[in-house]
Structure 1
Amino acid sequence: MDISRTSTPRNRRRPRWLAALAATVAVAFLAGGLAAPAQAAPAKTTLAVSASDYSVSPDASVTVTGTLKRGSKAVAGVSVKLQKRTAGSKGWSTIATAKTTSKGKVSAKVSKLKKDTEIRAVYAGTSKNKSAQYKSATSSTRKITVAQKVAVTKTSTGKPTTGESITFFGTTTPGLSGKTVELQEKSGTQWTKVATAKVSKKNAFFVKTTAGNAGKATYRVHAPASVSTGSATSSEKSFAVHQWFFLNDVAPADGSEWADGGIGLDATPSTIAGVPFNRALSDVLSADNSDLLASYSTWNLDNRCVAFTAKVGIDDASAEGTRAAFLGEAFTSLDNAGASDTLLEFGESARGDKAKTVTASIAGFTFLELWATDSTEAEWAEGAEGYPVFADARVLCSTAP
């Protein structure tokens, strides 16, 4: 049997990968077509800044230099800004704008630096020549330190006494104008702030303190560091502070007896012309030994004292007509044989006279001796006694006697 079949040829199946490719291409064209080749990105540039010196004196000048490169190659003929600002501030000011040299450099001078100064270089970049584009660049920030100075030019006294005010006058470099400086006192190895002062617009200051107890005192003036200035310290200033010491509070070194039996001045309160004195050293004179001094007292000052003062007069409990001469002696050895011994004559007083202030220089001497004698003008009644007084007798010493 002859059998024949008529049929329509079957469609051929496309490989799956070909279908996927076709779909991808279709999506790309539907999205607007294939993208054009990308242009080259601007070349990477680097910018550095430097200074001819990073630590300078006030009012000095430095040269600031910026260097622009692409890779290791210098970029020439483009504008670069050099900028500065006071350290710690926010705003920048332009020192100069100039085109780079064949070595990629631009330089400018900064003058009269007064405070710590930061510098940098800035390049804006370029897009005019697409075949030679350069990205913008800013250098790192560098700091120029300006050394500050503080000086004490004079003091109100060179020989302060305990409780006396001492004023320190001085000057600073311009960068410290308006800043606060500290007066510091040394204690052992430590420095303690005792006073402060503000530096004037003319770069001057004065600062005060009060002298402490007798002994060596050392001071300095210090300007603390700030964001725009480094610290600065003056040289040290030392004093030998002297203090007044009452002889009533100092034990006599010698109370030798004289032929009349005197054994030293009595430390007892006294009254002179109605004025009481709690600290007093009194002698005793009488009609029976009016031609002799009654007693004396000696103090070993060990060459540490420079002045003596007292109020002299006759105690109100003395007999009528009592009159005495007040004397003293400064010497270097107890045998009283030194050629440098100095007789101190304080004059005479009579009963009823107001207390009289007397003074004497005793610098350079080891011992001080005080006594009183009967005046030839005294009018004594039989058995009468009189009491000459050194009231508030004091010595000015660098250490306690």
Structure 2
Amino acid sequence: MKGPLRQRVNRRLLGIALAAAAFGSTALGTVSGALVLRTTLQELENHARTLERDLAGNLTSFQPMYEVQRQLQLAAASRELRSALLLDQRGLILAASDNALVGKRVQDLSLSDGLGDLGAHLRACFVESQTGFCAPDRASSLLDGPIPWVGGDHMVRVLPTPLALEGLPAFGQQGLLVIDLDLQPLVGRALQLTGLVFLLGLVPLFLTTGALVLVVRRQLLPELISLAQTDSLSGVLNRGAFLEAADERLELPGLDQPMVVALIDIDHFKTINDTYGHAAGDEVIRRMADFLNGAVRRGDLVGRLGGDEFALLVAAAAPQAHDLLERLRQRVASQRWTLADGSEPQLTLSIGMVEKGSEGRQHLSELLQAADAALYVAKDQGRNQVMDLQRLHPMGWTVQTA
């Protein structure tokens, strides 16, 4: 009875687990990526400050220009430095990590000089200046912008440098020291670290998700199945659960046990609703469901198909099932039913029944149709009785099933 529903619930839980794992892994990747990016940017900032301090400290003393040139070349070779330039305020490159750039004016640089975006931004700084000078703050705003990225894979630092160097015509003049950091190695390490954090985080994530699914299955699955199968008003099997369980029971291979399908209506139920109110009608449904559950034997099925109609699957041959249903009918008719509001409606039942195999009927749909026909006859003949399909032919009734 619970097999198909359990399978559906298990599939749904698996889907939820996979969705939770996917969402969790995405969130984990986003958070870890953000943390690593923040750490990487801080590392870049510290790296840039170290370069600035080292280079600027060396360039403030009297040194031959070739020594300045050598220091810039060493910095570019030993650190993650794409290029380093020392400019005067008119754009003349006094020293550079690339010898080919020394002596050129920034305004005359082209793409073939290898500076790319850096050269274009520096050229703009000098060309757009009305005085022909490029102030350090102006250069920084052009090169750094709101975030220190230019071209996506390098960071530029600009700092004013006192040009107290040998061979310069004007001592004390401020120049520009431009440091172009190559970010690719640092970004590569950041991506590797992000991937490692992501993969390490997946293990506890999947373990936690799996444990959660197991807890849900063990503690909540029985309750979910019960809720899905139980009629909310009467507490017995609902229509879908009864049909599924009865069909499964009837179709069991090799089962030779006789089975009877019975349909039960509460006589004049509409009158009860109209006379005593719908609350009383609901109470009658609940009380009748409890009565039927207590009257049938263990292993029999009780379900509510809708309204005041109940269905039974009785594991017995027609004579024994008829006796059981007749005793049930008599008890209902003779019992005094006092409701919560003090009203005492007279309750009786009309019952139609059919045995599996009767006239070749084997499947639940055929048996329900035949039992419904027998129920119709019971109501037509005055209600408050049990009608067996086998009694219809002597009475002149015929039943056709699809």
Could you state the TM-score of these two structures normalised by the residue count of structure 1?
0.23
Structure having the larger proportion of residues in helix:
2
Structure having the larger proportion of residues in strand:
1
